[in-house]
Structures are given as structure tokens and as C-alpha cells.
Structure 1
Amino acid sequence: MSLKKTAVIAALFASTLGAALPASAAVAGRSTLGVTVEQEQLVVNGWSVKKSVLGKDVYNDQNEKIGKVEDVIVAPDKSLSFAVIGVGGFLGVARHDVAIPVDQFTTNDGKFVLTGASKDALKALPKFEYEKQPKKSS
């Protein structure tokens, strides 16, 4: 994959998240939550992870549907790192989730593409599982 395409995909995912990350603004000498007037324009012109990435099909370079974007992972340094792709299953049952680095994606005619991938190749990858959070005590 060319460096330009990698940068476009990373920017695509990153720009999607940019509007979703919290921002703060100072108003009349006090701190408040929300976005500044300048940031609001970015939000209005940005696009939503929920509407533009999550739930979108992923294809291989043979135009075969191989999975669906179930989640995106933001690293502790706030960089977009991985997309969680669900492979197989029916209505989420028996689905095999895998984490794929965002720089491995390209886009073609508005579709997310993983060149050289197949359902079987994705199912052979280690299953992605979220870290279990400790239960809060009452």
C-alpha cells in the first residue's frame, strides 16, 4: 500500500474521531465544557464515527465482503490505532472479532478494503477481546 493511501486511511479514521474527542474552552475567564466557536465549525464539517465507520462493511481486493467494522480503538496517546472487524456469525452470535491496524486499510469507491484478506484469513487471527473491567463495589 502506498504511503499516500495509508495516510488517507489514517486521516479518515482520525478525522472521524477528532470531532468525537472532548474539548474544553475558556469563556469569560472561567472554564466550561464544550467546544469553542472555532472548534464548532470543525464539528459541523466533520463526520461521525457512528454514521461513517461503525457498521460499515469491509471488503477484500476481490470486492468480497469479509467483515464489518464493529469498533475503533484509540490508543492512550489519543492516536487512532486499530479497527475491530467482526467476521462471520449471524446477528453477532459466533462472530470472530479481530483488531486490524488502520494503516492496513485502503478505500475504494467509498468502501473499506483490506488487500489480500479473506474471511478465513481473518478468522485465523487471534480473537480480539476487550479487557474485563473490575466490577464497582457498592
Structure 2
Amino acid sequence: MELFAQAAAYGPWAWIVGGLILLGLELVVPGGFLVWLGIAGILTGLLTLVQPLAWPVQWLVFGTLALGSILVWTRLARHRRLASAAPELNQRTDRLIGQEAVLASPIVNGFGRMPVGDTIWRVSGPDLMAGQRVRITGADGAVLRVEPVEESLP
């Protein structure tokens, strides 16, 4: 209770200092949400400097600002897509789409095998003979979807 009495004695400055402490904690404990709590604390302190408010109203203002800012932040962050230098880094099959290779074994009943790079992949597609040149068109998990490549005459 002494902590609350001391904070009440400092009034708006307690909110501002508390907000700055929360902003500082964000540097130590990253996660993004302490920034918004810190900003809400600072805004509550500034509002209380301009218009004196009772403690329950100050807590209500702080809670409303904190909740509102976190909701806005999560909504904006959800729609933001980070640009990457390697967007297919952990999506190995996506990097293979469009490549051509030769079937090592025939595709029978929709499935066969073929080497791509240093890996033998399971493939799915129309029934084809071994040695047929195919193009990778997609993937279902670790199974590559292929289609035959039409050889063009010169």
C-alpha cells in the first residue's frame, strides 16, 4: 500500500516514469507489447498533468489506452508482410517449381521417382515412362507434382 501512496504523491509523474520504465524494459525483454503499455502510461501521465483525474479514472484511462493500442498494433502487424531477401528459404519444394528433370523410374498409378539436385524425390503426375523429361509444377508436402515437357522440333 505504501507503493500506491508514494505513486499518488507524485501524481502524473508516476505514470510518466512508469511508462519510461516499461519502454526501457522492452529493450531487455523484447516482444512488442511493453512499448504500447509504456506509451499508454506516458499518455496517461501527460493527460493527468493537463487535467487532474482521480486514481480510478487514471487506471481506466491507462487500461483503455493500453488495450486500444495493443489491439491496433496486432491488427496492423497481422496485415504487414515482411520483405525477405530469400522468401523461399525454408520452402525447398517451392524453389523447385519450374525446374525440369528426367524421370529415374516410371510414374505408375500416379507416382514415381526422379533425382533433382542431390535428392531423389517422389513425384506425382500422369503415367509416364522412365527417361521422360518433366517440369515441376507444384508440391503436395514432399511429393512433387510434374507434367511432361513437350519437346519442340527445330
Q: TM-score range by the shorter chain?
A: under 0.3
Higher RCO (Cα < 8 Å, 6 or more apart): 1
More strand by share: 1
Could you tell me the TM-score, scaled by structure 1's length? 0.24
Instruction: Look at both structures and tell me which one has the larger radius of gyration over its CA atoms.
Output: 2
